[in-house]
Amino acid sequence: AQKITQTQPGMFVQEKEAVTLDCTYDTSDPSYGLFWYKQPSSGEMIFLIYQGSYDQQNATEGRYSLNFQKARKSANLVISASQLGDSAMYFCAMREGEGNDMRFGAGTRLTVKP
C-alpha cells in the first residue's frame, strides 16, 4: 500500500506568491516523522523541513512551513514568497517509529514563473 501520496505531479506559481504542495500519508504507528526534500535540476536531494507526529506546532524553516493536520494525515509544504530558484522537484517522505526506512512520495515538480 502506498504510504506517501503526492497528488500533484506538477504545479505552477507566480514569483513572489505562496504555494502549497500536498502530501498525505498512511501509518498506524503513533510515532513518526515527516520530511520534505527539494531536488533541483542539478539532481541533489536537499533536506528542507521536518515535522514530528507529537509536535504541537507546525514546523517552520525560513520561507518553508509545514501545514500538519494529524487527523487528516496530511503534511502539506507551504512555500511563501516564491523565488525562481524554488523551481524543482519536491518530495515528501516519512519515517515510522523505531524503524529506519524512509518512504518517499512520487514528487511534485514546481515551476516558478517570473
Report how far residue 91's alpha carbon sits from residue 54's, in angstroms, rounded to the nearest whole number: 22
CB of 68 to another protein, least distance (A): 14
Torsion of CA 21, 26, 32, 33, to 10 degrees: -20
Span of 10-18, 29-37, 65-73, 80-88 interacting with another protein by CB under 8 A: 29-37
Query: Considering CB under 8 A, how many residues would be counted as binding another protein?
Result: 30
Between 10 and 81, CB nearer to another protein: 10
Neighbours of 47 (CB within 10 A): 11
Grid cell, residue 18, equals 505562496
Using an 8 Å Cβ cutoff, are 15 and 72 in contact? no
Instruction: Confirm or reject binding of residue 35 to another protein (CB under 8 A).
Output: yes
Return the number of the residue (50 or 63) whose C-beta is nearest another protein: 50
Among 41, 85, 100, 114, binds another protein (CB under 8 A): 100
Which cell goes with 74?
496530511
Q: How far apart are CA 55 and CA 13, in angstroms?
A: 29
Residues that bind another protein (CB under 8 A): 4, 6, 9, 31-33, 35, 37, 43-45, 47, 50, 52-53, 91, 93, 95-107
